Structures are given as C-alpha cells and as structure tokens.
Amino acid sequence: MVWNDTTNRQGLVQDCEDLCGLGATGITSSTTLFAQFTRWANKWNLIGAKIAINAQDGFDFDDPSYSTFPSGTFVGTTNRDYNFDDTMKMLKLKLVALSFDGSHFVKAKPADTNDPIFQNVVREDTTVDSLVGGLNPIYDPHANGIDIYPKFTSDQVTAGAKVYVEFYREPKSFAITGTDSQEPGFASPFHQLISKGASYEYACLYKPDLAVSLRLDLYGNNATIPGIVKDMEEWYSFRYPQAKRIIPLMENPR
C-alpha cells in the first residue's frame, strides 16, 4: 500500500481515516492532523524495519525506496577513528573491511578495548598496532563510528588506503504534504503495521476503546491471536529456502 492516495483511497492514510472513523479526507484535509499521523507512521515504519532486521534469517532487509546500496567508503588517514555521517541513516553495522593498498580488502573483526588482546595497552599506546597484523585487522565500534587496528601508515595512505562499511539503515520517511506513492520498506503482507500503528497512537489519545482493539491487532493476546508484530517476526525469520537434512529413522542392514 502506498502512503497517501486521495484519488482512489487505496493508501495507508486512507486506511487510518477508516480505522479511526474520521471519514474521507478527515486526515488529509487537516494540515495538523496529517502531520501528526505522518509522525506516527514514520515511528511505526522504524519499528517495522527493526522487526525485519532483528528477525531476518540471512535475507538482509533494506528499504527498496533507496537507489543506493547501504554501504560507505572512507578515505584512509593516519587517524584511528572514522565517524559515520548522519546522512547514512545507519541503524546497525554489518561489515567493516580495510584496504591497505586501495585495491584489496580484508574483513575486520569486531573487538573491544576490554578484550584480552588489549590487556596491557590502551588505545593511544604507540605499540598497540603491533598486536594486530594487517591480515587480521579488528575494529572497535563506538558511539557514532569505529576505531581501526592497525591504523594506516603514511605510506599506506599514499597508496590509497580505505575503510569500507556495510550497514542496515533507517527506512525512508513518508512525506507530510501531498500525495505520496512511497510504500513501506518491508513486505506487503505487513503494510498495515503502519496504518494500525499510527491509528493506535491516535486512539490512545482520543479513543481509548479503539486503542484496545488496535493493540490486539498489533500485539495479539499470546493465545489465539498472534498479532501483526508476531506474524512479521516469524515471517522474516524464514524468508528464504533453507536446506534441511533428512535423518533416516533406521539404517539399511545390508
């Protein structure tokens, strides 16, 4: 489902209007209400991305509305730290690789300065890089970036050293004005997570009885009704075929 379709009333906004009993154009005709529902929808779009990423079985989630691959390359310097730009919209780091010559990359393993390898040295120690070889680099994630070990030498920087990262990112936000044909970034059977989630936020404020019903649709009752969230978690955990080994009940005696 697209975000907003005032012509044919096939959008998520129109679903919100119906769910909340606001009538046709009840949301789209009000600038304030439309902005509120867009904010709630973008919140639940992030929740949907989180569910898909946490539950995925190897089929990596990304919003198809993007025209780029979720990756970035940093020009190597002699500094140890590399910070991620806010425009990357990164949610979780997936992969880090270092190139010491600008052409060939070596995957780096995640580590922490509390690990045994750093037992007798600290980040700024001049000998710390000697503990890590170029064939087995590591990186230490921090607030909005990473520290790499070993850091590049001046000669390696001159040769074109690089840091390459892949990551999971936020889904694209829905627009707060006009008709928007953007769809949620996750699978279509669960698009109502957006409209029911946004409607739930509205109902919590203005229609508590409706909020109870929508909460049941979203989260289920842990018995007969699984809820959209649970269904989505299970679906994303088995999204692509997996080989199964068949163990015979008994061996052929011959």
pLDDT, one tens digit per residue, over 47-88 is 999 999 999 877 889 999 999 999 999 999 999 999 999 999
* One domain, residues 77 and 164: yes
Residue 245 lies in a domain: no
- Helix (H) / strand (E) element for 19: namely helix 12-19
- pTM for this predicted structure: 0.84
- pLDDT digits 0-9 by tens, 174-224: 988 777 889 999 999 999 999 999 999 999 999 999 999 999 999 999 878
* One domain, residues 80 and 35: no
Final residue of a structural domain among 142, 169, 196: 169
Final residue of a structural domain among 145, 169, 193: 169
Q: At how many degrees (to 10) do helices 208-219 and 192-206 cross?
A: 150
Q: What is the torsional sign of CA 236, 241, 242, 247?
A: positive
* One domain, residues 27 and 144: no
- Measured CA to CA, the distance from residue 29 to residue 76 in angstroms comes to 51
Residue 243 lies in a domain: no
* One domain, residues 160 and 193: no
* One domain, residues 75 and 163: yes
Count of beta carbons in the 10 Å neighbourhood of residue 239? 16
- pLDDT digits 0-9 by tens, 5-23: 999 999 999 999 999 999 9
Count how many domains the chain has. 2
pLDDT recorded at residue 246: 58
* One domain, residues 30 and 78: no
pLDDT recorded at residue 172: 94
Nearest Cα to Cα of residue 50 among 253, 246, 251, 236 = 236
* One domain, residues 161 and 82: yes
Structure tokens, 146: 């990473």
* One domain, residues 98 and 181: no
pLDDT recorded at residue 242: 59
Residue 201 lies in a domain: yes
- Measured CA to CA, the distance from residue 189 to residue 200 in angstroms comes to 19
pLDDT recorded at residue 180: 80
- Measured CA to CA, the distance from residue 153 to residue 144 in angstroms comes to 23
* One domain, residues 93 and 41: no
List the domain range (segments joined by +) for residue 131.
Answer: 71-169
Alpha helices in 20-130 (DSSP H): 31-55
Residue 111 lies in a domain: yes
Name the pLDDT band for 92 (thresholds 50, 70, 90): very high
Q: What is the torsional sign of CA 147, 151, 156, 157?
A: positive
Residue 250 lies in a domain: no
* One domain, residues 142 and 76: yes
Residue 253 lies in a domain: no
* One domain, residues 21 and 87: no
* One domain, residues 121 and 200: no
Structure tokens, 4: 């907003």
Residue 150 lies in a domain: yes
- pLDDT digits 0-9 by tens, 110-163: 988 777 767 666 666 667 787 777 788 999 998 899 999 999 999 999 999 999
CB contact burial 76-93 (16+ within 10 A = b; e otherwise): beeebebebeeeebbbeb
Q: Are 200 and 227 in contact (CB under 8 A)?
A: no
pLDDT recorded at residue 120: 65
Final residue of a structural domain among 120, 135, 169: 169
Residue 227 lies in a domain: yes
